Chain A
Amino acid sequence: MMHIAVERLLDGVVRTLTEAVLPAVTTPYARGQLYAAVDVLRNLRDRVEPRADHAAEESAAATAALENAGAALATAAPALAAELRAALAAVPAAPPHARAAAARTIMADALEALAALPADVTRAARRPLAEHLGAQALRDLAPLKPSLLAEISRG
């Protein structure tokens, strides 16, 4: 999941490079390379989007977890189970990012609703949701590169 739109992210990088970095770059070759980087980023902004396959994988896994939770509630909390089924039926067929966002909202709402019921009634329904959240945390982490936080902090 990305909270910052790719266009805004690249616009911010371009502005920082031109306004905060460029004035401190003094050699002609380095300045030329920096301008080239800015040119690449400005033209990349309208030609890329977040990975659709990642969103599709997330929405499939989330939907399965929500279906399992609904099944576990069928007897103990039939009204909530019906709400879950209706919400899942209303998830848009496409695009993948919209499906994943809808599944996240349904799951967040389901977790709030489960919290209002006795723990022993909801334990079996909470389990597939928690396991999905753990698996999704690992999926979200997988593409990330080692952090440069030390270098960013030191400057």
Chain B
Amino acid sequence: MDGGSDHDLRGRLASFLARALGADEVRVAALTRSTEGFSQETFRADVEIGRGGAREAQSWIVKREPVAGLLEPYDLEPEFRVLHALSDDPFPSPPTPWFTRDPAVLERPFYVMRCLPGEVPIPAPTADGRGPFSDAERGALGPAVARTLAALHAIDWRQRGLDFLGDPGAGRTAAARELERWEARLRASALAADPALTAALVWLRAHVPDCGERTLVHGDYRLGNFLIVRDGAHSQLTGVLDWEMVHLGDPLEDLAWCASPLWRAGTAYAAALLPPEDFIAAYAAASGRTVDPDRLRFYDVLALVKMIAIMHTGIRAFADGRTDDLRMAIFDHQLPFLMILLATTLDFFSGGAE
């Protein structure tokens, strides 16, 4: 971590955790930054807790606001409130007890959550083209990911006190609000005109769907944010991570995002797990919803625009010199991969979609 020696920061984090846990003493034995997140700063803290003469080892995850990043400007509090509210729910989100804006601890706001078991397979293609999972793992995890998404959308957000996220209301407003959210982000990035992106925005504005219901929407439910314990046909989805885009809206937004070609890791499978039509059918069966193909298509296209907007934000941060994180710079040459997906999805090669 920056802004002080590693020893100082460990000491301040240890004091924070000791107060939060009501412990006599906490020692941060190791503080390791994750390379996987492209947005918030994620650290694993392995700690020893002393209480009443007994000692216990625990692991916690610390999520800290970055100086610049893909989803700036940042405010960790809404996602903390959601994770905190779900901490006693059977849904596999990490129990998340603490958040602070106090700069005396780690310079910037952060929250602390439980370290759940498992690994996070990444959505990048593998050299052999088989993706990150064996057939047995796919057989177990594909239906589990669909069922878990249905469980997320079944959470009673009013009862959980999550209406602070802003109910978009009935009709087309949920989809329209998301489209406006990402158009605003594109405008804020103010990169040079890109007619392919304009064509996509024009198409989206003409196809905003009516949403019959509003649910909690994770916003980034996809391969890369799943915590997995591998055990062949008994593999488990143990955690759903990275809630920074959580909001209330149309559940099909999450379904389209998860099934998007963006997250197939070079395979033909949604989330590298199931053929997209099977994944959608599994979600429909688990949720009891009928998946309207026109509504889903809107979110298919919005998913690509959303990813382009995120990349534009990173490119802008790098171009302005607010970050030297080269992972932001690579988006400038990753964009053409997205544009091919957009061209295919909107049938540019055969004259464009109506």
Contacts and interface: CB of A to CB of B under 8 A. Distances in A.
Interface of A: 1-5, 8-9, 12-13, 15-16, 19-20, 101, 104-105, 107-108, 111-112, 114-115, 119, 126-127, 129-131, 133-134, 136-138, 140-141, 144, 147, 149-150, 152-155
A126 B315 CA distance: 30
B122 A150 contact: yes
A115 B354 CA distance: 11
A117 to B, nearest CB: 12
B191 interface: yes
25 contacts: A3-B312, A3-B315, A3-B335, A4-B332, A9-B329, A12-B324, A12-B329, A13-B329, A104-B192, A104-B194, A104-B195, A105-B193, A111-B202, A129-B195, A131-B349, A133-B196, A137-B196, A137-B343, A138-B340, A140-B335, A141-B340, A144-B333, A149-B330, A153-B35, A153-B124
Given A4-B315, A150-B125, A137 B206 contact: no
Given A12-B329, A111-B199, A131-B349, 11 more contacts: A3-B312, A8-B319, A9-B332, A104-B192, A133-B195, A133-B343, A137-B342, A137-B343, A147-B125, A152-B35, A155-B35
Contacts of A105: 193
B17 to A, nearest CB: 26
A155 B194 CA distance: 32
Interface in B307-354: 312, 315, 318-319, 321, 324-327, 329-330, 332-337, 339-340, 342-343, 346-352, 354
Contacts of B194: 1, 104, 108
A57 B350 CA distance: 21
Contact of B348 (A19, A104, A137): A137
B198 interface: yes
Interface of B: 35-36, 122, 124-126, 191-199, 202, 205-206, 312, 315, 318-319, 321, 324-327, 329-330, 332-337, 339-340, 342-343, 346-352, 354
Nearest to B198: A108
Of B192, B196, B335, the most chain A CB neighbours within 10 A belong to: B196
Contacts of A112: 198, 202
Given A9-B329, A140-B336, A144-B333, A130 B324 contact: no
